[in-house]
Amino acid sequence: MVLWLSWIDDCLCMGPTEIVEEKKKELMKQFDCSDEDGLDEYVGCKIVKNSKEKWMKFTQPVLLQSFDDEYKTNDLMEFETPMETGQSRT
């Protein structure tokens, strides 16, 4: 699987190295591009990856903090998801 994200003029391609390199070369033939390796952030998203366990997580801590500052979300009750059968939010 290859994940391709784009935001205006920024593109992020992730997946098996050989496929990513092939697709990157195809794109760079058509457009004037720069190649950045080892991204820890992409258009405001923090990227955490674990190659050994093959997972990746995108979060937006700055956006979440702005929501908390404006709406005081830390004062709300937290719920685990998925909830256990029969559990209620009330």
Structural domain spans, the chain: 3-75
Rounded Cα distance between 17 and 63, Å, is 31
Cis bond before residue 82 (omega within 30° of 0): yes
pLDDT digits (tens, 9 = 90+) for 55-85: 888 899 888 889 888 988 777 667 677 777 7
Query: Which pTM does this prediction carry?
Result: 0.56
Q: Are 20 and 13 in contact (CB under 8 A)?
A: yes
Which pLDDT score is estimated for 79?
67
Which pLDDT score is estimated for 77?
63
- Which own/partner contact pairs does 72-81 have at CB distance under 8 Å and 24+ positions apart? none
pLDDT digits (tens, 9 = 90+) for 5-56: 888 888 888 888 899 899 889 999 999 988 887 788 888 889 898 889 988 8
pLDDT of residue 90 exceeding 70: no
